């Protein structure tokens, strides 16, 4: 399976389809995120690692698709948004 055959990746811009209302994304800088995480009593090292991971994700580190679902299940993957739109109760968690 070529990556272009996969349903694709999910981003916060698609959230409005799941919630049925507009969603505002607020971009938070690294230092601000670390300070917020520290305010929740996370140790500074863990807060820094989580903020670093957030930066990597923003840069596209997790923006990829693979053939893993089909290899493991024998069925092609389905689009996450389509699955959750079809199962509104799943959005409540």
The pLDDT tens digits along the chain (93 residues) read 344 444 667 777 777 777 777 888 888 999 999 999 999 999 999 999 999 999 998 898 988 888 998 999 999 888 877 777 787 776 565
Cα 35 to Cα 31: distance, rounded to the nearest angstrom: 6
Tell me how many domains the chain contains.
Answer: 1
Give me 91's structure tokens. 């959005």
pLDDT score of 5: 45
Q: What is the pTM of this model?
A: 0.65
Give the helix, strand, coil percentages of the chain, each rounded to 5.
60, 0, 40
Structural domain containing residue 88: 3-92
pLDDT score of 7: 64
- C-alpha distances (whole Å) from 56 to each of 20, 59, 62, 73 are 29, 5, 8, 29
Cα 66 to Cα 2: distance, rounded to the nearest angstrom: 8
């Amino acid at each position: 399976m070529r990556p272009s055959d996969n349903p694709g990746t999910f981003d916060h811009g698609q959230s409005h389809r799941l919630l049925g209302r507009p969603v505002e994304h607020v971009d938070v800088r690294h230092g601000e995120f670390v300070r917020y995480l520290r305010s929740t009593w996370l140790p500074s090292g863990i807060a820094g690692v989580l903020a670093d991971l957030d930066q990597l994700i923003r840069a596209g580190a997790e923006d990829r698709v693979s053939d893993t679902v089909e290899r493991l299940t024998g069925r092609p993957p389905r689009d996450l948004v389509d699955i959750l739109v079809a199962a509104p109760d799943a959005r409540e968690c």
